[in-house]
Structure 1
């Protein structure tokens, strides 16, 4: 088998054919046209039978056939010598006629054609020493360039690793160096980062077979994969898709990039940066509409570890409420881990902190059909997903966690298609405040739950709250109360919106509404009368109640 040199800038057989010293011999390519791209790692003059054994592979062999048996006198001996020669896997053979042979031995032509070895026949005498000198000069120059390029890449990527540069920045720099797309995946085959903005590169990681142990993406010819590992631990794989040659060798550059990522991973023993970055980039893409259609969206979700084909999909938020008693990062870490354990092993989850609220996690869930954890219950406190989350939190929460702390889980409506899943997430995230439960459930429960199915109007309105028409509608109805609340002085209590929300929550029970507003009944009635006066409405009218409920939900006030 032909031995290729790791340095990609070495001269090829085609390059050598262009040398003036070789052209002077009137060269004729007899066999091996497809092998002209082979790299030449050395030039070696072969004379006699014994010299063939000195070959290591990849050499440009120059010979006149001196010391070889004549085909007419000893065909078996010549055939054996030729077989030994081609078995050494030379890059090419240059055979000069006129000294020992007047025509190219048929055995040599046959063997070279069979092995795809370029056979170049010279019809005029040349000085082999000049050819070897020129080839070796090219080789030494190429190797010096390769070593310099390797040192430059090594310095750049090592510095990135020591500086703990963000994962995406390191991946982008590797891709820039190679001139080809680069993808970093975790040990579980979830895509952590990829270079550029073209998501078609993720097609190789989005198949359903990716869930199987030992998954390897089907990549085009010329792609390279290297492990990201250190100290005996393998954290993932770095892949470069086909691209141009690099002086230091494409695989060498990729290995140096993997080393830089391994340095950063060593400094992050829990892997939070990889987990958070991959999820955050995915959420940024899907929530900001960075996809051209449902197929591309499916590709990004699947590459991130969320299978969408033949699955039940669900958008959700998970947040801590009340004083956690310690650093917020521990709260987020516990919530994340507990939810992952809750949905495992059949379910899949991707989560990331909400951009507007670091205590809230945005969640995308994927379950098999008929998964019992998705069984709908009219009592949120008995929802199977919440009960399992309660169990996992019970194993993880510090003993010092205040009794008042709760994990609040808001579940959107189920979906079967990726676009519906994103709509579910957007609406549940937009309505996180509006969909908060009115009660805390049993005092012993650590998990409160709100189901979108329970409050379809709130779910719908909060999903539409960003539309200009809805904003104008809410402002036109509620601006008199907003203006009154913002004014100080006698008669301006600043709580009319809260009083209205309490009333709309219990329109048929003013006593309960007054209790929720934390006002005496007489003061509550006064506030209601003032609201009716400012708005010019009758709060016993059903259509008025519906309109004000929509307006308050659009403002996030219910």
Structure 2
């Protein structure tokens, strides 16, 4: 724990001097890194920052000293504060010094009884060294507790539990849509997750660790630097004394969660595990180098210099149902097409197929040929992504095919599905493809932020009202009829919406912009937290 000015004033060696704070009382939590005795009017070049300056007042008693410039010199050099012993050279602090210090909030302390500067120096330096040793010991404990969890495949809950043990504060793992993935802490779940989405949205998001918001939360991003998918949040106010330790632990925990997430995404034990691992690596971003991906594909007998047809088959069962028949059936169908192919299970009830396409036009026909070879009732939906023109394009094509297969309606049980493509899903396809893109979430916040920050009950009521107005394309009569209001009351509600959103909903472009944001927000029903949150796993 760092030593602050407030701590220094409470030390016996300083307390014997009967200290009185004359200015900068709001800055007493400033960290003191060292103590320096100086009577120089200009300390530039003699300090490294964080020093408490001790003086017997010689510099203050000299007739030519510019006291305002003296205070500026101390501030500009990074001094933590100035302590002056009264009596030998000055009986009281000059008014000009106090006024200049107060103008800048710079701490100035007067000592009304004699003290031994050497005793203060030795005591403070011992405290600083001890604090540095404690910080080093804490860092070592954090490394031991968190350092290997990621590569060992520890769960997010286990990582958060270790984090809580170190900092004694609750920790939450959320995704970019502010949905809680995991949490831990000695605080009741209902307190941690209370109106989480609205509260979390008010905490700044950045590429590195951030601190702020109404409740002064600290957060750090999770995921590879170029593909952030969430963040860790400590939902309590952090004082300066503990900030560095909490930040250090949170960043180490974020690294562990990132690694374990990548490891989990590539752990499959079904038939065709090597192909599945390659496809999962590409889809998750774990294999980002096209040269490496091509080499691994060649080792599996999949060598292509042309486009790659990408198909995704969704099984008819729930995520926790056995899907061995799905994997086997799709594999056999892919082989029956008589094209070089890679088949891999990317997640439960979802199987990807990559076809080699020497001729560009065959990339459009191969998904239909795969359907012809599938047995009836085996697949609930079959989606085709845009053909990947190179290995570099493959992650985007796989992601597109997966989202189309996810949102496409299931065919009846014994029916063979047709091929669904992104263009068949309209604008919802685009929004689903970029649902994890931070730019989309920023767009949603810019359009709907004031509504999403409301209490959960008021938020849903307002969203339903806005949804009804947009679905009627801003035409007042059918809108009023839909929400069971008279025209006058309906107009009043729309004006309230416009004031809240700071948007002119009568303008077609503004209305379209808000409508797109609302569709993007509504496309995932899991955004809303359950009314009775599950207890954290410890």
Query: TM-score under structure 1 normalisation?
Result: 0.48
Select the structure of larger CA radius of gyration.
Answer: 1
Query: TM-score under structure 2 normalisation?
Result: 0.49
